[in-house]
Structure 1
Amino acid sequence: MIKNILLVGVGGQGTILTSKIISKGFVENGYDVKMAEIHGMSQRGGTVTTQIRYGEKVYSPVIEKGTADIIIAFEKTEALRFLDYLKKDGILVINDYEIKPFTVGIGMSEYPDNVLEKYKSSVDNVHFINANKIANDIGNSKVMNIVLLGKLVKMLQLDDIDWKKIISETVPKKAIELNIKAFEVGYESN
């Protein structure tokens, strides 16, 4: 059985690093894994998506619309762009955090109101987490992505993988302790 994970965010949020950690964890535990990443002007605050497919044998990294088992949105409006990728009984995890695009700043567009309420009314299995606040509370907002990783691992019950080891092998040495803490706090979050 193949599982599909879609991570969506804004450039600079650590979406790709998180995907690499997830993929490495799956590979080290015997899964066939395919990952694709899309950088939409990511250095300028544009959308970044990564698609991860894992299972016994995976032939393509591409997640088709309506087939994502889980979507992790690193920014709350990014999920709106990709909601049609979520399967009917899929899980949506949203970081209750907003990054207003440049076009909002110059008055060309408006940031949508009541976004979280829209998700509640359109998705049966939706979960919210303020990963940015959690990351700030433990010392650095840059580990927001690892807080979300912890939440993902718990949601998908992926406890048979040594995530702390993989995080330790992937992040810079000086950041290992903080990233492990971020993972643990994300895992324990409700």
Structure 2
Amino acid sequence: MNKSILLAGVGGQGTVLASKLIAQAAIDLGFPARTAETIGMAQRGGCVVSHVRIGEAHSPLIPKGKADIIIGFEPAEAVRCLPYLKEEGVVVTTKKAIKPVTASLSGSSYDGTEMIDYLTRNQEKLVVVDGEKICAACGSAKVLNIALLGAACAAGALGIPRKSFQKAIESRLPQKFVTMNLKALELGAQEVK
């Protein structure tokens, strides 16, 4: 199996953890996996992009036009990374926008609606997850990353069964957070129609 997975979000959303869980699940299945992150002003809400390459790859970084899937933790970040997506690639993203500092300072409005509209018009294979609803059901905003993994898994875009993600969550996360994250994985998968 060869898969190139690009995860794009902002600091604090768990983008890097999600990439590590994908790599762990792939390795547990016997596939080589490499990860790399580009973390700008992540601690200040800046963009975070994680690359995951499963199978044979000469570099951990995904070239433009080669990603099988983009998992967007924020709609504008998903749009920004579209040049990396293959023509037949899949986009999984959340409805909830995170207003950038520049929009806050300038007083401009941004709620992500226009980004979701753009993706809907321009992306044939699109899964939009109601991340707020899932986070509320799980009792934590910190499970969005796992909900998006569940949706990506259910969309068939990762090539990794959900059971492998359950195992990776159980082995990599502190025990007190396992049940909540397994619920988020399931609820994310349920978002795929």
Tell which deviates more after alignment, 13-22 or 129-138.
129-138
Tell which deviates more after alignment, 106-115 or 82-91.
106-115
Give the structure-2-normalised TM-score: 0.92
2:168 alignment partner in structure 1: 166
The residue type paired with residue 163 of structure 1 is F
Give the structure-1-normalised TM-score: 0.93
1:93 alignment partner in structure 2: 92
The residue type paired with residue 134 of structure 1 is I
1:61 alignment partner in structure 2: 60
Secondary structure of the residue aligned to 2:5 is: strand
**In the superposition, relative to structure 1, how do residues 137 and 106 fare at CA in structure 2: closer, same or farther (>3 Å)?**
same
Question: Does residue 181 of the first structure (1) align with residue 180 of the second (2)?
Answer: no
- The question of whether the paired residues in 1 share the 8 Å contact of 2:153 and 2:162 is answered with no
> In structure 2, what is the Cα distance between the partners aligned to 1:176 and 1:16?
17
**What is the percentage of aligned positions where both structures have the same residue?**
39
**What is the total number of aligned residue pairs between the two structures?**
189
Secondary structure of the residue aligned to 2:70 is: strand
Structure 2, unmatched stretches of 5+, are: none
Secondary structure of the residue aligned to 1:61 is: coil
> In structure 2, what is the Cα distance between the partners aligned to 1:186 and 1:160?
11
RMSD of aligned C-alpha atoms?
Answer: 1.7
Give, in angstroms, the shift of residue 2 of structure 1: 2.1
1:151 alignment partner in structure 2: 151
Structure 1, unmatched stretches of 5+, are: none
List structure 1 runs of 4+ shifted beyond 6 angstroms.
none
> In structure 1, what is the Cα distance between the partners aligned to 2:127 and 2:164?
24
> In structure 2, what is the Cα distance between the partners aligned to 1:185 and 1:109?
33
Give, in angstroms, the shift of residue 162 of structure 1: 2.4
The residue type paired with residue 169 of structure 1 is S
- The question of whether the paired residues in 1 share the 8 Å contact of 2:25 and 2:164 is answered with yes
> In structure 1, what is the Cα distance between the partners aligned to 2:107 and 2:29?
47
